[in-house]
Amino acid sequence: MKIWVDADSCPVVIKDVLFRASERTGVQLILVANRRVRIPVAPGIRFIQVPAGPDEADNTIVQKVKASDLVVTGDIPLAARVIAKGALAP
């Protein structure tokens, strides 16, 4: 299981909670955005920067997400796309 974060619009407070949860549980956390996002230096936390443009981060997440993964997003169309692939987007 991996946790994917649509980081372009994710509030800092939520990212901080996810960073701590990833470090505590060892679950891999991957943030995807079209601008640089600060992340802590930790073995299970990664950042993927995508080109600027509409839905670039969304498309990358949908392309890489697996059925057992969790996606953190406030974007309803993205959530629908990852659910269609069998992933979770609560």
CATH code of 9's domain:
3.40.50
Query: What single letter denotes the amino acid at residue 17?
Result: V
78: containing domain: 2-84
Instruction: Please state the separation of Cα 15 from the chain's center in Å.
Output: 10
Domain membership of residue 59 (yes or no) is yes
In a domain, 8, yes or no: yes
Could you report the per-residue pLDDT of 8-44, keeping only the tens digit for each? 889 999 999 999 999 999 999 999 999 999 999 999 9
User: In Å, what is the CA distance from 28 to each residue of 21, 25, 53, 73, 76?
Assistant: 10, 9, 26, 16, 23
Alpha-carbon span 31 to 16, nearest angstrom: 12
User: Does 54 have pLDDT greater than 90?
Assistant: no
**Residue 89 domain-assigned (yes or no):** no
The Cα–Cα gap between 39 and 22 comes to: 12
Residue 90 in domain: no
Task: For residue 23, tell me if it sits in a domain.
Answer: yes
Instruction: Look at the chain and report how many structural domains it folds into.
Output: 1
d(CA 20, CA 37): 16
